[in-house]
C-alpha cells in the first residue's frame, strides 16, 4: 500500500497532462486563460472502495514576481486520518507560471509521505535555458544540480493548466518536453475519446487523455494513467485514475469554485 495515494497525486494530478503543442517553443501569442485567481478544485481520492484522502488544486496570482505577472498554481494532497496508519501523506506543491511568456519560473514540492520527507525547489532561467535544482531529503542531505532545459519548458503542474488553453481533438498525439525533478523527459499525450462521466460535483462531458513516457520512466513503470478533462473551454479536470500494483486509485471532483 506504500505510496498508493501519492502515486495518483504526484503522477496523475500533477504530472498527468503534458499538453504543449509542437510549435510552442517560439514566443507564444497572447493566451486567453480559461481560469483565473480564485479557482479551487477539491477531489476525493479513493483506493478501491476506501476513501484514502483528499486533494486540492487552486489558482493564485502575483503581478510582480521578480518583475513578472504570474499565476501561482498550488496543489495539496492529504490522507484521511483513518488512513494515516497505513500511509500518512501531507504534500504541497506550487508552481510560478509566467502569464505572458507561458513558461515556468519556479517549482516547489514539499512532500511528507510516511517516513519520506523531501523539499525540492527548482528555479528556471528560461532566457539562458538553465534550471537550478535544490533538494533536501530527510536522512540523505542536500543535492544541487544545474539542468539544461529546452525553450519554454514547463513543470508538470504548470503543464496541467497550460493544456487547458489548447484546442484538443480526439486522436491527438502530442510529444513535448518537461522537467521531472532534475531531469527532462519527453512525454506523449494521447487524446483517446470523449465520454460523459458522473462524479460528486456533477455530470460532465469530457476528453479522456492518457500521458505516456516516450522513453520509459515513471508512467511506464507505475502503470496506465488516465484523466477526464471537461470538453468545453475550461477543460477542467474532474476525474483521474491510475493503476497500481494491486487495484487502482481514483480521484473525483467533489466540489469546485470557478468563474
CATH number of the domain residue 197 falls in: 2.40.360
What's the domain range around 168? 4-257
DSSP sequence for 84-96: TTT--BEEEEEEE
Residue that wins the pLDDT comparison between 106 and 174: 106
Among 14-28, 102-116, 217-231, the range scoring the smallest mean pLDDT is 14-28
For residue 192, count other CB atoms closer than 10 A to its CB: 13
The rounded mean pLDDT for the chain is 84
Calculate mean pLDDT across residues 56-84: 95
Residue 83 has pLDDT above 70, yes or no: yes
pLDDT in the model for residue 104: 94
Q: pTM of the full predicted structure? A: 0.85
Among 22-36, 87-101, 130-144, 161-175, the range scoring the smallest mean pLDDT is 22-36
pLDDT in the model for residue 24: 41
Cα–Cα distances in angstroms (integers) from residue 94 to residues 64, 103, 125, 210, in the given order = 17, 14, 17, 23
Residue 78 has pLDDT above 90, yes or no: yes
Does residue 115 sit in helix, strand or coil?
coil
Q: Which of 184, 168, 155 is nearest to 227 (CA)?
A: 168
Number of domain units in the chain: 1
For residue 88, count other CB atoms closer than 10 A to its CB: 17
Residue 180 pairs in a beta bridge with 183
pLDDT in the model for residue 179: 85
Residue 128 has pLDDT above 80, yes or no: yes
Summarised one tens digit per residue, pLDDT across range 225-242 is 888 999 999 999 999 998
Residue 218 carries which DSSP code?
H
Amino acid at each position: 500500500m506504500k505510496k498508493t495515494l501519492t502515486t495518483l497525486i504526484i503522477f496523475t494530478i500533477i504530472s498527468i497532462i503534458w499538453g504543449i503543442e509542437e510549435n510552442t517553443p517560439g514566443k507564444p501569442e497572447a493566451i486567453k486563460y480559461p481560469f483565473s485567481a480564485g479557482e479551487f478544485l477539491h477531489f476525493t481520492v479513493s483506493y478501491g472502495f476506501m476513501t484514502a484522502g483528499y486533494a486540492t488544486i487552486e489558482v493564485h496570482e502575483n503581478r510582480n514576481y521578480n518583475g513578472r505577472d504570474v499565476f501561482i498554481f498550488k496543489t495539496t494532497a492529504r490522507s484521511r486520518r483513518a488512513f494515516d496508519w497505513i500511509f500518512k501523506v501531507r504534500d504541497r506543491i506550487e508552481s510560478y507560471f509566467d502569464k505572458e511568456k507561458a513558461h515556468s519560473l519556479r517549482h516547489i514540492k514539499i512532500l511528507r509521505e510516511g517516513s519520506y520527507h523531501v523539499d525540492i525547489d527548482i528555479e528556471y532561467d528560461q532566457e539562458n535555458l538553465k534550471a537550478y535544482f535544490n533538494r533536501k531529503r530527510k536522512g540523505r542531505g542536500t543535492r544541487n544540480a544545474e539542468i539544461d532545459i529546452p525553450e519554454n519548458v514547463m513543470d508538470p503542474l504548470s503543464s496541467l493548466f497550460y493544456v487547458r488553453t489548447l484546442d484538443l481533438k480526439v486522436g491527438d498525439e502530442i510529444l513535448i518536453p518537461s522537467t521531472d525533478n532534475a531531469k527532462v523527459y519527453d512525454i506523449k499525450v494521447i487524446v483517446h475519446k470523449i465520454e460523459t462521466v458522473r462524479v460528486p460535483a456533477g455530470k460532465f462531458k469530457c476528453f479522456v487523455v492518457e500521458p505516456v513516457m516516450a522513453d520509459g520512466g515513471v508512467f511506464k513503470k507505475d502503470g496506465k494513467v488516465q484523466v477526464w478533462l471537461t470538453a468545453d473551454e475550461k477543460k477542467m479536470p474532474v476525474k483521474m485514475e491510475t493503476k497500481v500494483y494491486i487495484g487502482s486509485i481514483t480521484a473525483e471532483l467533489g466540489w469546485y469554485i470557478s468563474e
